[in-house]
Amino acid sequence: MSAPTPEQYDAKLAELEERIGELARQVELLQPGKKARIPASCQTGEKPFIAADVVLRCSPEAPIVLGDRVITHHGSKLLGPVSIGDMAYIGPEARIRSQTIIGKRVNFGPRVMLLNDGHEVGRTRRRAGKNVTHPIVIGDGVWVGAGAIVMGGVTIGEGAIVGAGAVVTKDVPAHTMVVGVPAYVKRELDT
């Protein structure tokens, strides 16, 4: 039996992602009366799944935009402005902070944290000085493993993998796998 072609693999992946989304929607239907609260300043594409306890903090000045068939699991918190592309999968208890752009078909494991805000070093009486925010950009088709942390100012290239528990402090080239604390390139991936 020969290995599937990239086109066959992509078709099967799309079929499975559609099935996952449908199953997630069915699970949500089994919890009558529990619906996600989606503020008016949040925009969603077709057939989103947003668990009832997901927190979406957005405003007209800081919108959250979710593409078609985005799945956002329980306990996740998003603080706008955030943009998430079509068919992204946000695992349970994710933390996504402002000024974040997430591409299409991105998968997050549980407890992924995108932390793009912090502080300058302050004076001796209070070391946490002025608040600063640096954008995070995650390319299409990226997989971020469970418990990984992505720091502000980082761009993760298309098709990259971030290993579970990694702490990403620098840009990740497209089609590479990074692991560790701090994250380093483990290997290049097939394209």
Query: Mind telling me the catalytic residues?
Result: 119
**Non-local CB neighbours of 152 within 8 Å, separated by 6+ positions:** 115, 116, 117, 118, 132, 133, 134, 135, 136
> How many angstroms from the chain centroid is the CA of residue 164?
14
H/E stretch holding 28: helix 6-29
Q: How far is CA 31 from CA 34, 156, 183, in A?
A: 6, 36, 40
- Strand-pairing partners, residue 118, are 132
